[in-house]
Amino acid sequence: MPVLQSETAKIRQFLKSRLQTDVTSFRGYESEWQNIRDLLFRTAEHGESNSALLLGTRGSGKTTLITSVLADLLPEANFYRNTVIVYLNGLLHTDDRLALKSATAQMNLENAVDGKVFGSFAENLAFLLECLKAGDKKKSKSVVFILEEFDLFCSHHNQTLLYNLFDVAQSAQAPICVLGITARLDVIELLEKRVKSRFSHRQIFLLPKENDFEGRVELFKILLKLPTDKEMKEFNKTFKPIPEDALQNQELPLLRRVFDPRSFSFSTKTISQWNKHIDALASNPKVISVLQNMYDYEVIEATFKTFLFELVCQLHDDNPLLTVEEVQAQGQQFEGDDKIHILCGLSVLELCLVIAMKHHSEIYDRDPFNFEMILTRYNKFANASTTMQGIERSVVLKAYEHVKNLELIAPISNASTSKVQKEYQLHRLLLTYGQIGQAVVKSQNLPTEVCQWAQSSLI
């Protein structure tokens, strides 16, 4: 296809930009999205004080939801003129002092000079609280605190910042909204009693949908198709640009790079050819099988986007179209087990020790073992074998230690075993029997006797 071949680089750039930087398109969870939007809107418009937690597994779209809500609200003049957004991240602001300095700088308070905050923690906290409490519910600007990695703020000394923010929100002295984002579903239990009593206990869950494979196939087409002229016209009608004044906060990274499909243009013929190709790819039984296997492994959209990104990176002038074989190869790489790859790289002796550990675990219901137990079991096999005889004890011990260093087995450590000789220290197996079986099948140049021992009755 000469038309596609000439525009391959542009198609690849467009798809990579969409998969990486499209942080405002949020699919699904309509009620949760509306809930967060109403929360922020009421804080800005009516001066209400609220606090809430957004909970969900990593990659479920918590930050994307917040970004999408902000992208919807910030174009409205009433919202961005009446609201100050303070973004704090538990990974960056590792204690209350750093968090307080960042919050003061983002709020442009009087004790912040050129973005730098002077004074002690106690003085800054007192000043911040005084500013918040001195505000009037009808005249003051609303302040929205977005706390990313909220569970890390719970580990700060005395939870001073959380206590004071929730206290101001509960007393409704100034319009303030505290929004926590975390992947820990038990985060409420991390709060101190005095902090917990001031929290509204409003929790919004983003739980991944596990029975929506048709939606996953549709997402495959949405993310890989090029926008048609009709879709671009609809986008121009609904698109609301965010004013420059609303993005002055340099510490708010959420809307720093927003994907704009209007910066790319394709010929009608290219769009038609590419979209037909993606439709054909999405209806191919082999591709559907790969997508189904991936969906069984992982339902998170962020992981799926990474898979598609690696797929799109394979496009080039000599390969202007995505092929079924590439999708299958990428799917196998996605489903690959790192432990099996490690096992396939072991020597025959080391793999024999792992098989001996497997047999020991099967007999004794995964009870711990030490080197002497495994050596005895291995020697029974080696004496009956023609290929594994004559290996010295020191060599076997070295192989056992290498298996331990690869973290395929883990020591059971306690006070009583700390002074035990290394040959008698107890370990437990960190592999499943299925992983060991697959590794034996995939390992090349493995003696037939070893393969049979791995699959046979116990020795």
Q: Tell me: the pLDDT tens digits for 188-224?
A: 998 999 989 888 889 999 988 778 888 889 999 999 9
Dist. CA 384–CA 373, nearest whole Å = 18
Residue 431 predicted with pLDDT over 70? yes
Q: What DSSP letter does each residue of 126-138 carry, written as one string?
A: HHHHHHHHHS-TT
- 49-58, pLDDT tens digit by residue? 889 999 998 8
Element (H, E) at 56: strand 50-56
d(CA 373, CA 408): 17
164-180 burial, b if ≥16 CB within 10 A, otherwise e? bbbbbbbeebbbbbbbb
233 has pLDDT over 90:
no
| pLDDT score of 374 | 93
Angstrom distance (rounded) from CA 179 to CA 173: 17
- Helices 348-363 and 393-405 cross at an angle (nearest 10°) of 80
Task: Please give the pLDDT value at position 47.
Answer: 82
Q: What is the pLDDT of residue 3?
A: 54
Query: Residue 369: which pLDDT band, with cuts at 50, 70 and 90?
Result: very high
pTM of this prediction?
A: 0.76
What DSSP string runs through 329-346?
HHHHHHH--HHHHHHHTS
Phi, psi of 332 (to 5 degrees): -65, -40
Burial 132-162 (b: 16+ CB within 10 A, else e): beebeeeebebbbbbbbbbbbbbebeebbbb
The structural domains of the chain, ordered by start, are: 1-14+211-335 (no CATH), 23-206 (3.40.50.300), 340-455 (1.10.10.2450)
Separation of alpha carbons 443 and 105, rounded Å: 58
CA 98 to CA 213: how far, in whole Å? 44
Q: CB within 8 A of 33, min separation 6: which ones?
A: 26, 65, 68, 69
- Report the DSSP pairing between strands 176-182 and 50-56: parallel
